[in-house]
Structure 1
Amino acid sequence: MNRWLFDLGNTRLKCAPLREDGSVGEVLALPHRIEDAAAAMDAALPRRFDVAYLASVASPELTTTVLDALTRRCSLISRARTQPRFGSMTIAYAQPEKLGVDRFLALVALHARGGPALSCGIGTALTIDLLAGDGHHLGGRIAPSPALMREALHARAAQLPVEGGQYREFAADTEDALASGCDGAAVALIGRSLAEAARLLGEPPPLHLHGGGGERLLAALPEARWSPGLVLEGLARWALESSAC
């Protein structure tokens, strides 16, 4: 059976084949503006496959565009939703639908790897979630990502550039100061979360960074592990469980 995984975020569409052994194949990252999402999918994906598994946190309009493109090439589409429990993992939210499915699937993947973990996704938003070793989600945080901070500053003060600059502890020009301030805010929040996680669990959990903006912060977080395919990995687990039901 030819099956594909789709992670539709606010910044990009990531997709990969689901291999027969349950692992994730080569990941493709596609542009996903409403006006060009379908064309990008047509150029990159097989003309036909059997099943599509979709996780989306994008707008309803963009999600519909992607669903329409998938409908033209496969006979079954299964859309992942956040669940209060997945196997032995339980989430902290009393209203599961309020926890983004990308955060849920990242937790699914980390629980499958075993042990406690601190998940940090950096896309449009910066999300942090703490998972105990027994599978209990202990809650999390949401903040603007460094990229969104830059965009917000530029929107209110056009003279402040939306890109550029290097992280420095004390910057000597505007571009570096913006990069240092916005990246530094993210690093500080992650560091505070990691310290609090260590207090709650008795030891620091592994820190996993994922999302389009995560790699930029690795130099400032030497303890972090780069896990860019975490959401697709969790979606693969969800897909296999769904198929078994």
Structure 2
Amino acid sequence: MIKARIFVQIVSLLILFSCESSLYPPTYPPVLSDISLTSSSSKTATNSVIQGDTVFLTVAVDDPENDSLTLTISILSGGTEIKSLEVNDSCIYDGTSWETWFETDDLALGDYTLALTPTDKEGNKGDTLTEIFTVTENLKANVTTADISISAVSYEVKNTTTGEPFIITFSVTNSSPVTLDIVHVPFDAEDSSDTVLDSGVGIITSIPSGATKEGYLKLNIQVTENCDELIYSFANCTITIY
């Protein structure tokens, strides 16, 4: 009799657990894949970013219950976490990917591991997905006018009619390790008495590293004023790098 009662109780418990299992089916954590990094300096996917860049992160997420809640982002150096942030489900795009960003101005040069861990609303944590990226030196920040030189400066009167302009021709060489997007070169045209007849700024765009490009500048100097000298200096130039 006692054995029969125990058997009935065991069967009842099994039925109860079975009912609860049906009412509360198991849930599954989000699954991450395909990390993609771009930056404020590179719009194409890259794992090499310039120090000071904003890094834009996209990672695919597969979540059958569509209940992803948070994404924890850790940045590790030599296995030690040096930076972390957490974003919520407002950063999920179209239900298929997390999209967020982080800054690198506080990261030293070198290699880092990016570790991403998703969590859903039930508290289920998905597997951590990792990616290696490298922070490189911002070569643009060190460029100065000492990295350019001006050469082949000449001028030519285009028309002997009084008041017609003449053209200054000049070249700029870029000795820096990056492309110079815009270089402004100011000129003063003087006569034999060092009187400035006219001034202007020559502009050359997109000078690759190691390259020399020619520029032109038109000034309104009358031929009767007899330009004797062109005054210029690379120290007075300005450089723009995007």
TM-score by length of 2: 0.23
Larger fraction in strand: 2
Larger fraction in helix: 1
TM-score by length of 1: 0.22
